[in-house]
Amino acid sequence: MPRVSVWLVRASLLHLLSGAILGASYLAWRAAGWLPYAATHRPVHVEQMLVGWLVQLVIGVAWWILPRPEAGVSRRAAALIWLVFVLLNTGVLLVALAATVMPDVLLPGGRAAETAAVALFAALAWNRQRSYRATARRVLV
């Protein structure tokens, strides 16, 4: 597994753990009134579970298992995927912070970072999706 995938997947696991703690706290607060801090942290739970965990895990695993170019992954792509990692996690953290402080500034900033991260990932992964037929033709020629 490429090192950047290790970082992406492990970061996604941390978001899963943190998001699950917040989710369990929120359910305990709704049911029994325990852990009242959780009442204001539902948006953080949703953000961590959907973007921090799910999207980041998919990006990390995709970068690992999608077919590589015959010439190998370029240095530029290998550097830019680290930017995806930084932008995505910065975005999730900013959106999470926006649940408690400066929502007018942090929320758009966080969403912009997340959007830039997934757009960059889409561009980097675009040419790594090929049909079996195209691959077989190259092998035969």
Which listed range, 30-38, 91-99, 108-116, 128-136, lies at the site for another protein (CB under 8 A)? 30-38
Q: Which residue has the tokens 């500034």?
A: 105
| Distance of closest approach, residue 65 Cβ to another protein, in angstroms | 8
Contact between 10 and another protein (CB under 8 A)?
Answer: yes
Which residue, 57 or 116, is less far from another protein as judged by CB? 57
The CA–CA distances, whole Å, from 126 to 59, 63, 67 equal 12, 11, 11
Query: Token digits for 76?
Result: 């530029």
Contact between 23 and another protein (CB under 8 A)?
Answer: yes
C-alpha triplet 114, 118, 122: angle, nearest 5°: 170
User: What is the distance, to the nearest Å, from the Cα of residue 87 to the centroid of all Cα atoms in its chain?
Assistant: 9
Which residue, 28 or 136, is less far from another protein as judged by CB? 28
Residues 48-77 that bind another protein (CB under 8 A): 49, 54, 57
